[in-house]
Amino acid sequence: MAMRNVKNAHYFQIDHQIKNISQVKGVEILSSLAAWKKYNWARKYFSLKPKEGYFIWVKKQVSFPLFTCILLCSKNITQNLQNLLIIEKNLKISFQGTCQAAKKNLLGAHEAQGKIILKEGSSLKYKHFHSWGQKDIVTSCYEFFLEKNSKLDYVFKTLSTPRKLRINTSFNLLTGASCNAKIVANCKGTETEIKDNLILKEKEASGQVQIRLVAREASKVSAYSKIEAQAESRGHLDCQGLVLDKGSEVSLVPELLCKNKKAQITHEASIGKISQEQLNYLRMRGLTEKEATNLIINGFLTL
């Protein structure tokens, strides 16, 4: 289930044990607990004294992506992570976070809270991948804070869904900040709840959130997506779902809240099915029905 060589991770944790913290010039990487003890100013970013998780403070430009990996390997483990990522002014950084189970039958729980701070003029490309066993329970709550003229490109993708999945993401944008967020879930036999909130706090902030959800094998999937415009700003919400079989369901609940007469916020939402015409077209070219279905789903989930 690994998505790249975890030995290359700059922060690598298995169950509750830190396996590796790399030294990167211009970047300080600590456990969250060590950061709590070392920096009084960092404590305001944690809801409680952290037990586990990472602290990454990017102080200078780096030319390669930073990579973290949180792994479940043992049975009946509950991870309780508090993560903090800080990008200093005018830096352009790429980051990949991977959270996954090593096996399908671990009965594990993964609870993560994260805060990502983009200082003025900084830019972050963040890919966040999840892959779990069918009996795991996962909660992922992340807050992004974008200061003046900062830019975020964020992709959250769950490659293999757990029994229960809760995703809660908020984006807070100040003057001139921009956000392009994509949330993708291919759900099989799972209860999945996704909540996202794009808050355009100051003038000339802009953001777009795109959501793609597939429900099959008796999955129950719901998405609650909100844009709140508090100042002259622009935002767009694009939610789409596919229901593949009997017993599965998708619920999309978009919400727009405008508090400024000069703001412009829009949304589109749709739930559909795979058309027989598409399937027939691909089967005529030699694909089985399963192969054709998977090809269509992969195309739908590609943003």
Q: What is the pLDDT along the chain (303 residues), one digit of tens a residue?
A: 444 566 689 999 999 999 999 999 999 999 999 999 999 999 999 999 999 999 999 999 999 999 999 999 999 999 999 999 999 999 999 999 999 999 999 999 999 999 999 999 999 999 999 999 999 999 999 999 999 999 999 999 998 999 999 999 999 999 999 999 999 999 999 999 999 999 999 999 999 999 999 999 999 999 999 999 999 999 999 999 999 999 999 999 999 999 999 999 999 999 998 888 988 988 898 999 889 988 989 888 987
Contact in structure between 136 and 108 (CB atoms under 8 Å): yes
**161 and 91 co-located in one domain:** yes
Is residue 1 a part of any domain in this protein? no
Residue 147, domain extent: 6-275
Cβ count within 10 A of residue 288: 10
Is residue 139 a part of any domain in this protein? yes
Contact in structure between 237 and 264 (CB atoms under 8 Å): no
**83 and 65 co-located in one domain:** yes
Is residue 174 a part of any domain in this protein? yes
Is residue 71 a part of any domain in this protein? yes
**226 and 301 co-located in one domain:** no
Which of these, 274, 139, 119, 269, lies nearest to 209 by C-alpha position? 269
Rounded Cα distance between 77 and 86, Å, is 28
Contact in structure between 177 and 168 (CB atoms under 8 Å): no
Is residue 204 a part of any domain in this protein? yes
Number of domains observed in the structure of the chain: 2
Q: Where are the beta strands (DSSP E) in 161-232?
A: 164-173, 178-188, 191-200, 205-216, 220-229
**21 and 69 co-located in one domain:** yes
Is residue 142 a part of any domain in this protein? yes
**72 and 135 co-located in one domain:** yes
**70 and 119 co-located in one domain:** yes
**233 and 285 co-located in one domain:** no
**33 and 71 co-located in one domain:** yes
**97 and 177 co-located in one domain:** yes
Q: What was the pLDDT predicted at 2?
A: 44
Q: 280: alpha, beta or left, given left = phi > 0 and alpha = psi -120 to 50?
A: alpha
Structure tokens of 48?
A: 């409680």
Q: Tell me the helix, strand and coil percentages in the chain, rounded to 5.
A: 10, 55, 30
Q: What is the DSSP letter of 8?
A: G
**167 and 288 co-located in one domain:** no
**245 and 165 co-located in one domain:** yes
**282 and 185 co-located in one domain:** no
Q: What was the pLDDT predicted at 274?
A: 87
Is residue 209 a part of any domain in this protein? yes
